[in-house]
A and B are shown apart, each in its own frame.
Chain A
Amino acid sequence: MSQTQMMKGIIDGCLLAIIDGNECYGYEMAERLGDYGFDAVSEGTIYPLLMRMQREGLVTSVRRASTAGPQRKYYSLTKEGKQALAEFILRWQQLEKSVNAVLKKEME
């Protein structure tokens, strides 16, 4: 697995968490990711991920009029999406624990 692929998997999970919190649109998600420190990731990266998540039925979208510019696409999680998020959280906690354990032990 290349580094970018690993990163995508992580962003996938974070997007699910962000959408789960509140129905939101692309730009908002990118901003939030940036605020959380993912600023090395270019903002557009989220769209191919959202497209895949929508195809896989993890998210659904509705279009609403926006104040300026074209209609805006708002995303929300489906039942499958919530399940995927729960699985991601579990996987991440396991990974975090393992990595921390390695670092702690080996760096002593």
Chain B
Amino acid sequence: MALTQKSRKFLEDLHIYLLSSGKNLNEIKEITTELEDHLIEAEANGKSIDQIVGDSPSAYMESISGEMKPDLASWAKYFPLVLLGPIAFTIFGDLLDNGVLAYSLFNIIGIIVYTLLFIMGVSIVFKYTSRKQTSVTKEIIILSLPIIVSMLFYLLVLFLDTMIDTPIVNFGEIGSIVLGSVIFILIIAFSIWSKTIIIPVVLLALFLPDILLKETALSESSKLIIGMFITYSLIGLYLFYIFAKEKKKQQGSE
């Protein structure tokens, strides 16, 4: 017996809410499975989900969440992705361009604040959207808010950086190579540990065109266009691969 759309959405929202509240994945599975079992039997007997979760799904999710201990260890898994991504992007970009890394203190502090803003914003929004029963489009719009805000913040930092004088931290040639290698090893370690190659794929998509086109005799504008084409194609291919994999997994479980 298949569940109604509304019940399935509720279970998915609960799953995301508990996950973004930092609960243990096994415990989340346990309670969502138990509720799924309940909903299947209730719907088979002609009851609606409102009779099960009450008037406020959001209050109900909170009461479930309140009985579960936070599982910081497994939630922390996603932090390196947000932290490593932008840092790796900046550092590899500058290594390719200059070979030596040097940043103003203002810029370094800016990156740290940007990272914190991003993490906080995304987790607040995730909690908000999963507790309210909103449509997918609305969820995507709301979710993009903290991402846009934190990016604007970082652009502001980059802009102000040209105007404000703070000491420059110069890493030197050896320091730059060491820092680059450390980030590289961290990315490899994170990819193996989290079982996702998103960071290497995005970095490759962004920097491969530069490396490939650097020595060609093409004009700057054609380099730019071809470069963008390669970047979008690589990311597109990766997303296509992920979606195909997800779809296969879903069909397999039905």
Mark A residues whose CB is within 8 Å of B. 25-27, 30, 42-45, 47-48, 51-52, 55, 66, 68-73
B24 to chain A, nearest CB (A): 12
A52 to B35, CA, bound (A): 16
Would you list the 9 A-B pairs with minimal beta carbon distance, nearest first? A42-B54, A51-B67, A69-B40, A48-B63, A44-B52, A43-B52, A27-B41, A44-B53, A70-B33
Q: Do most interface residues of chain B lie in helix, strand or loop, or is the interface mixed? A: helix
Given A55-B67, A69-B41, the answer on whether A42 and B51 have CB atoms closer than 8 Å is: yes
A-B contact pairs, 8 of them (CB 8 A): A42-B51, A42-B52, A42-B55, A44-B35, A69-B36, A70-B36, A70-B37, A73-B37
Beyond the given A52-B67, A69-B40, A69-B41, please list 17 additional residue pairs across the A-B interface where CB-CB is below 8 A: A26-B34, A26-B37, A30-B38, A42-B51, A42-B53, A42-B55, A43-B38, A43-B47, A44-B38, A45-B54, A47-B34, A48-B63, A51-B68, A68-B1, A68-B40, A71-B37, A73-B34
Could you say which residues of chain A place their CB within 8 Å of the CB of B42? 27, 43
B interface size (C-beta, 8 A):
25
- The smallest beta-carbon distance between A31 and chain B, in angstroms, is 9
B38 CB contacts on chain A under 8 angstroms: 26-27, 30, 43-44, 47
CA distance A47 to B68 in the complex (A): 12
